[in-house]
Amino acid sequence: HRGSHGLPTTCSRHHRGNHRARVLPCVPTGPTRADRPRLARSTPPARDGIDADRIAHCRRRRAVIGIADLALFAGVFAASAATPGPEVVAVTARSLDSGFRGVSGLAAGIIVGKLTLLGMAMAGLAAVTAAYEPILRALTWAGAVYLCYLAAKKWRTAGTSVRSMSTRGTSRRAHSFGLGIVLTMSNPVAIGFYVALLPGVIDLAHVHVEDYLLLGLALTTVMAVIIGLYGLAGMRLRRFFDRGGQRIVDRTTAGVFLLCAVFIVLR
């Protein structure tokens, strides 16, 4: 006998001692239709756990920085780096003094300094840098004193031939390289710029080496273009002044060095 649920039931047709048949209520022996959805919900398929693990694994292995974010970083950095500041003024002065070739050591020092600050910001060392503020101030004053020394030397030897007063090329490039690092690392606002910009382009909680390499490549390319443009401008200015005399070139360079020293102290 089947009940209203369509399932087998247990019932008794006849009752002994009674001539009239009596049908007992049907009792279903299996799960009802109302129970089936509940059972299906309580036992999810096994592949759901695998998919959840796969999604979590993909989130941990985040993709490298995208092209749009990289372009955003390069654009904002270019706008900041192209603004006349101590590094730009120093590049122009060095190009005005020694020509375009004399900018190579200074440019290398500036780029290395900026790459170092970028790495420190990505590694989360901004708080550590703030703790060593006296050291940064000492670097600032050291760079300013060195620039004042160069300005005084250039003013004193104004009109002297560049070839007769120039030091050896290797030593001069080393001094320019050190000056570029000091000019960049002594800027207390520089690392704050990276700390403010980086969260908009990368996830600082999951930083990869590829992110630093791509950002460093963009930074190096932008700085090379900017330094090249300012170096060419200084070289053209040098050629213009050469028509009027070497003394004007030297004293203009001395004034630019002195202005650069004032910039790095007041910023």
| Higher per-residue confidence, 212 vs 254 | 212
Q: What is the pLDDT confidence band of residue 43, given thresholds at 50, 70 and 90?
A: very low
Kindly report the length of the chain: 267
φ/ψ of 176, rounded to 5, equals -65, -40
Q: Tens digit of pLDDT for each residue in 115-126?
A: 998 988 888 765
Q: Tens digit of pLDDT for each residue in 156-203?
A: 776 664 443 344 455 677 888 888 888 888 776 777 788 788 888 887
Instruction: Give me the pLDDT at residue 225, please.
Output: 94
Rounded to whole angstroms, what are the CA distances from 225 to 14, 80, 82, 118?
104, 13, 10, 18
Instruction: Give me the pLDDT at residue 188, please.
Output: 67
Average pLDDT of the residues in 65-78: 88
DSSP string, 2-60: B-TTSSBB---S--TT-SS--PPPP-B-S--TTHHHHHHHHS--THHHHHHHHHHHHHH
DSSP string, 215-234: HHHHHHHHHHHHHHHHHHHH
Residue that the structure tokens 């650069």 belong to: 260
Instruction: Quote the tokens at residue 93.
Output: 């002065």
211 close to 73: Cβ distance less than 8 angstroms? no
Of 73-82, 130-139, 211-220, the one with minimum mean pLDDT is 130-139
pLDDT at 27 over 60: no
Helices 209-242 and 246-266: crossing angle, nearest 10°? 140
Q: Tens digit of pLDDT for each residue in 79-117?
A: 888 887 788 888 888 887 777 777 888 899 999 999 998
Cβ atoms within 10 Å of 63's Cβ, excluding its own = 8
Instruction: Give me the pLDDT at residue 115, please.
Output: 93
Most confident of 34-38, 82-86, 239-243: 82-86
Give the predicted TM-score (pTM) of the model. 0.63
**What is the C-alpha separation between 242 and 21, in angstroms, rounded?**
130
- What average pLDDT does the chain have? 71
